[in-house]
Amino acid sequence: MMVIMKSDYSKQDLDGILRRLEEVGLRGHPIIGVERTVIAVVGRIYPELGDELETMPGVADTVPISAPYKLASRETKPESTVVKIGSVEVGAGKTAIIAGPCAVESEEQLMATARAVKEAGANLLRGGAFKPRTSPYSFRGLEVEGLKLLAQAREETGLPFTTEVMSVRDVEQVAKYADILQIGARNAQNFILLEEAGKTGKPVLLKRGLASTIEDWLLAAEYVLNTGNHNVMLCERGIRTFETATRNTVDINAIPLVKQISHLPVVIDPSHGTGKWSLVTPVALAGIAAGADAVIVEVHPNPDHALSDGAQSLNFQRFRELMEQSAVVAQAVGRPLLSATTPARA
Amino acid sequence: MMVIMKSDYSKQDLDGILRRLEEVGLRGHPIIGVERTVIAVVGRIYPELGDELETMPGVADTVPISAPYKLASRETKPESTVVKIGSVEVGAGKTAIIAGPCAVESEEQLMATARAVKEAGANLLRGGAFKPRTSPYSFRGLEVEGLKLLAQAREETGLPFTTEVMSVRDVEQVAKYADILQIGARNAQNFILLEEAGKTGKPVLLKRGLASTIEDWLLAAEYVLNTGNHNVMLCERGIRTFETATRNTVDINAIPLVKQISHLPVVIDPSHGTGKWSLVTPVALAGIAAGADAVIVEVHPNPDHALSDGAQSLNFQRFRELMEQSAVVAQAVGRPLLSATTPARA
Amino acid sequence: MMVIMKSDYSKQDLDGILRRLEEVGLRGHPIIGVERTVIAVVGRIYPELGDELETMPGVADTVPISAPYKLASRETKPESTVVKIGSVEVGAGKTAIIAGPCAVESEEQLMATARAVKEAGANLLRGGAFKPRTSPYSFRGLEVEGLKLLAQAREETGLPFTTEVMSVRDVEQVAKYADILQIGARNAQNFILLEEAGKTGKPVLLKRGLASTIEDWLLAAEYVLNTGNHNVMLCERGIRTFETATRNTVDINAIPLVKQISHLPVVIDPSHGTGKWSLVTPVALAGIAAGADAVIVEVHPNPDHALSDGAQSLNFQRFRELMEQSAVVAQAVGRPLLSATTPARA
Amino acid sequence: MMVIMKSDYSKQDLDGILRRLEEVGLRGHPIIGVERTVIAVVGRIYPELGDELETMPGVADTVPISAPYKLASRETKPESTVVKIGSVEVGAGKTAIIAGPCAVESEEQLMATARAVKEAGANLLRGGAFKPRTSPYSFRGLEVEGLKLLAQAREETGLPFTTEVMSVRDVEQVAKYADILQIGARNAQNFILLEEAGKTGKPVLLKRGLASTIEDWLLAAEYVLNTGNHNVMLCERGIRTFETATRNTVDINAIPLVKQISHLPVVIDPSHGTGKWSLVTPVALAGIAAGADAVIVEVHPNPDHALSDGAQSLNFQRFRELMEQSAVVAQAVGRPLLSATTPARA
């Protein structure tokens, strides 16, 4: 950490800070510059230090030097993490496709979708049983009944599934059924939920919050990793910006950046990231080209009758087109689709 | 709701939409404009309708007309809501001051602060027992021990207190001690927590999320109101923007706007809203001038030794100055401090 | 346009609005809904109408229905615009590469770069002669001398060039030399400059402003189109968001969306869009995969000695790698590199 | 500046950087920390240094320590700048009110407004002759005719006036008439315009850009100050955020913060800052309470017939109410209205 002194600081101020640093077991090296004096702080910095020093006389500002996340950092663990869900490996160099309805609505809707995405080459199933909804008057999911239907779809298709867990009170139950616990964007900083999900040992698919910086997102992952569970996948699903022509703004830069600074696999969600089905395929391809390890996409038999997020869901035909185009782009960037070894379409 | 047709829609497309609206018990009135055809939809619109219609052929877009929140709207309830916490009334025309440490750290720290803020004229005490922290390595609060100390401080000073509840698993326990349940910015869309907090019947202080629009915020309030609990206070604590010179950007416009469109009381939090103690008093005054019903502010005996958010905490002397200046501005705008009737400082 | 009435509007209010609409040659159709009354306005709406109506008694809000841009809209002109710069066609189905230094610094630097990018397969040269700099103390370009060097590089390599024009006072001079007039992000709403650039008849490369919505951006294009100059290319170069890990946030969604709603070609700038050379290639590939008609990228012989934006510039070797990878991805999405017909590397 | 090394940097990397710093006349002090090695750079840093170093091997990042603006900084000039426009002093401890129509539309409209605001106690007149409009199809002002009318209004009322200059080609003409040259938000980083406006020697009212950080804004001021013209007023008029319920988001934090870090006077514009007349008065009061030196507000005889920004304009009666309430709040915070010495309303 660097402590930046005000231009009119006194000798006394400087001594006060050096003494304070000593009190807490750190060392300060003052550097007298032409315009500024700064103090370089050496030792194991703790998170509150900046706040504490900023209130001391003579201090203009503090600047952290080390990233606050450790376990999520590629500096700590240079080799890429591979998350295994049954026989599906995310992060091992091939591109995985996760597909299914936004919300599980009925046996018929789910089974039809599961079969269709399986046939088109998807590797994992997605489907919401517990749905976080901005309005209390919206459909909130089939809950446990939805989990059972997802398990039934897995049984039939062989596809492991991911589903959102919205609350600590549901962690145990969701973990009983699901292969991957998904943390939604609105719970991206629900720290207790992150820890409880981590403790189950199940893979966690962690969506980026609408207002989460990349640092916040990696710190959220840190909550899971800190429980000893290293099976974390980071999902870019768009952030909130001033642009309202699309539902969110996919931060495409985040994909290669996170791959560089963290060892965790990165997933792109073009459905929530755009909110418009006509943008889903191009943005999925962009994500693959930028280096995503997986794509998660919403598919529905009849998007115009969906109980949730119909506007951003692909129908079966459009999903097959997405698969075809993804296969070509993934091949082009040297990370072929996982399903490409056993060709998806005979 | 308005359905906006594409410029090249067909008669069939139009008929399809009118039929679909009939199916779901609504009526559509097509209006053929010079550039655009739109369909005005009349009837009880449900939240998913826009999504459903947007995927139908010929539709360019849908535009909601009614606000999606009802119980929080001033159109539903024109008279302002007054939230009563013991003898303290928030929203009844006088300005309340809520003050205390960011986190409860020790009996000594809390008692000293509670006495100081009481003496300076505060009406309610604040203090964190369960602390949401961006990093898992930060101090996370004294938990139940903190609640007990807050109850002890209430006993001694007579000040009711507000404290954050971070998780559904803690709702019952927090409600046993606290006078107000506080929902933090990071849980602003933790919908299950909102409902559980609402069900306790205790007043709820609902912070705006970092990425919550005003509509999102009122919909979050709707989750609480929908449980039958009408004691909701809305707290503007800054949103996340591109400006990083301050920790957050206080949306001062939101204060008069929310007072116009909702009947709920509005509270300003200049401590989290700015992140810098030197900005706390001017922004508190701005909030009062803009029409806030209350101010919530962080106070600590030794901000440079605080375990949480020291940089934005006022020491006792600075808090007394805030109270003095607030008293004058609150008087100027015709909403004197609640404590002004029984002068705070003899 | 839709006029949304307050819930407590009076008959008189409604009549007043209908009368006002008649005054200005429009017709209003009131629609009495369950919760809301709205008035659909039919006729040629002018831009100020919303503002005027919003101040009238009984009006809650107005909602525009038609997009405010016309000439830039694909509804007005369904076929895609192809911009021709010499023999280079942007928007005709192949992907163009524009490359060169951020700023022209010297004959040696520019010639070396021009040769290198030509050899690697670039179709157009870029280089700044007039540089907009956030700080008045930064290098601001060689100005006319820079233009002359760019013309010399064109002479030698055959590559037409694009360069920024910062001010109306320089339009004539820049147009004398340049093949494409570039409008920078900070001038994206400098409306007089847009018109003067348009009047030269030269192709205009219009960067999106840091705070420009897609609608603002298309309206800026409208200023150029409105002069009768239809050679406009839209350049996505990142917008300003709360994320500071990268210099800007590339709005990848904007690429397919703008291609759908406008007929103008779209260019991606991964150099300014990310601010980090290590992200330039993946984000360029993402742009191509998402449907961009061209990529504009900064290349410098010695990025660590660049007078401007070295951190985001590729050296020659890295640019060659970008070209190779772009060729594969562009091919995969069916829009091969323009230079691919005459293979860049023997 | 601090240079932060990667965790796996080599001795060679470190030596390379130290050598490079020497080359450019600076000194580097390496500090070997527990987690990180950083190099503190001492000497006169130039703006491009960070970019240059970031591309060198072994460097993870660079962190500037000194603010990049100098002339605008309170560290350079501790005493507050007072800008004098005739007998009106902005920044000398009293609060000035600037009022008038968004756009000058006719002699009748302007004269009526000028008289009304003068009578209510305004100190300066505002009015747009050249209007920047998002759409090319909107009313763009009376141009020179508007300037003449403003001069006539000054003649009659004695109020000096401010008006926007949109382009370098108009600077001379606008400066011939106007008392203050106003730079609009969309030209906030039109650096050539800033310099040309500065060179006239006239006071400059510099609006903050929609995407300008406080640092960008002070650097824009630096362009004016650097011409030797020290009469700069900074105008907070709202920034662009995700919130669309208001036209912009007034950054109220910026007012006290800029007063602390800069010596320049700060003006609040609640009209553009909110876009809704019903929010103008509360936000004006908030600005005064937060420490603004002046308020600039739009007033129109018939807002519902305004050719520009009617929705945010006050009529005469509402402006008188704003003046009355401002007088009370300004008095309360110890910075009474300038006009308060000679009571506005007999």
Query: Are B193 and A167 spatial neighbours (Cβ–Cβ below 8 Å)?
Result: yes
Residue B99's pLDDT band, with cuts at 50, 70 and 90, is very high
Higher pLDDT, B197 or A67: B197
Angstroms from B184 CA to nearest CA on chain C? 20
Mean pLDDT, all residues of chain B: 93
Q: Which pLDDT belongs to residue B344?
A: 42
d(CA B291, CA C337): 59
> Under an 8 A CB cutoff, do C139 and D48 touch?
yes
Residues 256-285 of A with CB under 8 A from C: 256-257, 260, 273-274, 276, 278-279, 282-283, 285
d(CA B221, CA B264): 9
Q: Which pLDDT belongs to residue A261?
A: 96
For the stretch A233-247, pLDDT in tens is 999 999 999 999 999
Q: Which pLDDT belongs to residue D150?
A: 98
Angstroms from D63 CA to nearest CA on chain C? 13
Angstroms from A188 CA to nearest CA on chain B? 8
Angle (CA) A292 A293 A299, round 5°:
85
Angstroms from D120 CA to nearest CA on chain A? 37
Q: Which pLDDT belongs to residue A121?
A: 97
Neighbours of A25 (CB within 10 A): 9
Mean pLDDT value across residues B225-252: 97
For the stretch A155-190, pLDDT in tens is 999 999 999 999 999 999 999 999 999 999 999 999
| Phi and psi angles of residue B5, each rounded to the nearest 5 degrees, phi first | -85, 150
Query: Are B5 and B38 spatial neighbours (Cβ–Cβ below 8 Å)?
Result: yes
d(CA B96, CA A119): 62
> Smallest Cβ distance to A133: which of B56, B191, B305?
B191
pLDDT at C94 > cutoff 70: yes
> Smallest Cβ distance to D54: which of C189, C193, C311?
C311
Mean pLDDT, all residues of chain C: 93
pLDDT at D343 > cutoff 70: no
Angle (CA) C294 C295 C297, round 5°:
155
Strand pairing of C204-207 and C232-236?
A: parallel
B152-188 b/e (C-beta count within 10 Å ≥ 16 → b): ebbeebebbbbbbbbbbebbeebbebbbbbbbbbbbb
pLDDT at D237 > cutoff 70: yes
Name subunits touching C (3+ CB pairs < 8 A). Answer: A, B, D
- The most confident of the ranges A70-79, B43-52, D196-205 is D196-205
ipTM of this complex: 0.94
Query: Are A333 and C285 spatial neighbours (Cβ–Cβ below 8 Å)?
Result: yes
DSSP SS3 for A160: coil
Higher pLDDT, C324 or C66: C324
Least CA distance to C286: which residue of chain A?
A286
> Under an 8 A CB cutoff, do B241 and C244 touch?
no
- Cα C304 to Cα C99, C321, D30, distances in angstroms: 18, 19, 20
Please name the residues in contact with B110: beta carbons below 8 A apart, sequence gap of 6 or more.
B100, B101, B104, B127, B149, B150, B152, B153
Provide the token pair at A162: 């991911």
Q: Which pLDDT belongs to residue D135?
A: 87
Residue D346's pLDDT band, with cuts at 50, 70 and 90, is very low
DSSP classification of residue C6: P
Query: Are B286 and B249 spatial neighbours (Cβ–Cβ below 8 Å)?
Result: no
d(CA A125, CA A99): 5
d(CA A247, CA A238): 8
Angstroms from A211 CA to nearest CA on chain D? 10
Which of B3, B6, B35 would best serve as a mutation to test chain C binding (most C beta carbons within 10 A)? B35
pLDDT at A346 > cutoff 60: no
Instruction: Using alpha carbons, select from B334, C84, D97, B211 the residue that is nearest to residue A211.
Output: B211
Question: What angle separates helix C254-261 from helix A277-290, to the nearest 10 degrees?
Answer: 140
Mean pLDDT value across residues C70-90: 95
* B252 chain-D contacts, CB cut-off 8 A: 250, 252, 283, 286
Q: Which pLDDT belongs to residue C300?
A: 95
A308-332 b/e (C-beta count within 10 Å ≥ 16 → b): bbbbbbbbbebbbebbebbbbbbbb
d(CA B181, CA B199): 11
Q: Which pLDDT belongs to residue C340?
A: 66
| Phi and psi angles of residue C83, each rounded to the nearest 5 degrees, phi first | -100, 125
Residue with tokens 């510099």: D206
pLDDT at C259 > cutoff 70: yes
> Under an 8 A CB cutoff, do C290 and A288 touch?
no
Residue B260's pLDDT band, with cuts at 50, 70 and 90, is very high
Name subunits touching B (3+ CB pairs < 8 A). Answer: A, C, D
For the stretch B206-224, pLDDT in tens is 999 999 999 999 999 999 9
Q: Which pLDDT belongs to residue B340?
A: 67
DSSP classification of residue A141: -
Angstroms from B70 CA to nearest CA on chain C? 11
pLDDT at A342 > cutoff 50: no
Which of C59, C66, C134 would best serve as a mutation to test chain D binding (most D beta carbons within 10 A)? C134
DSSP SS3 for D68: coil
Percent of chain D with pLDDT over 90: 78
Query: Are C32 and C18 spatial neighbours (Cβ–Cβ below 8 Å)?
Result: no
Q: Which pLDDT belongs to residue B64?
A: 84
Angstroms from B140 CA to nearest CA on chain C? 26
Least CA distance to C244: which residue of chain B?
B242
Size of interface B-D (CB pairs under 8 A): 131
Lowest mean pLDDT among A310-324, B34-48, D301-315: B34-48
Query: Are B252 and B286 spatial neighbours (Cβ–Cβ below 8 Å)?
Result: yes
Lowest mean pLDDT among A271-280, A297-306, B225-234, C322-331: A297-306
Residues 70-129 of C with CB under 8 A from D: none
Count of CA atoms in the C-beta half-sphere (13 A) of A51: 24
Higher pLDDT, B136 or C284: C284
Instruction: Using alpha carbons, select from D178, D156, D166, D173 the residue that is nearest to residue D86.
Output: D178
Provide the token pair at C163: 């360069």
> Under an 8 A CB cutoff, do C256 and A287 touch?
no
> Smallest Cβ distance to C245: which of A214, A243, A244?
A214
d(CA C261, CA D272): 29
Which of B4, B5, B29, B31 would best serve as a mutation to test chain C binding (most C beta carbons within 10 A)? B31
Is D151 within 8 Å of chain B by CB? no
* B240 chain-A contacts, CB cut-off 8 A: 211
Q: Which pLDDT belongs to residue A343?
A: 42
> Under an 8 A CB cutoff, do D243 and B239 touch?
yes
> Under an 8 A CB cutoff, do B283 and D260 touch?
no
Lowest mean pLDDT among B85-99, C330-344, D37-51, D194-208: C330-344
pLDDT at D35 > cutoff 80: no
